[in-house]
Amino acid sequence: MKYAVVWNPAAEARLAEIWMAATDKQAVADAADQIESLLARTPLDVGESRTGNERILAVSPLSVRYDVWPDDMRVKVHNVWRF
């Protein structure tokens, strides 16, 4: 069963900014796609846990901060940045 992945509007806007500024647009797009796929399938098995439901995942060249609600099968991405 897949998790529903929802991006905070500010995180979506930041991802768009990162992509627009990138010289390696395909790498950014591929990382975003891989992040989305990992979060939809196994959000609790990837990344690093933080306090509460919060986790951080890095897929070069991007990182995201997200929360997981296993009972609801829901993930929310709060922030994205380039590392």
Quick: pLDDT tens for 18-54: 999 999 999 999 999 999 999 999 999 999 999 999 9
Overall residue count recorded for the chain in this entry: 83
Q: Quick one: tokens of 68?
A: 């997981």
Domains of the chain: 4-82 (3.30.2310.20)
* The pLDDT of residue 1: 83
Q: Contact at 8 Å (CB) between 56 and 50?
A: yes
The pTM (predicted TM-score) of the whole model is: 0.94
Q: What is the C-alpha R_g of the chain?
A: 12
Q: Hey, which bits of the chain come out as E strands?
A: 4-7, 48-49, 54-59, 62-69, 74-82
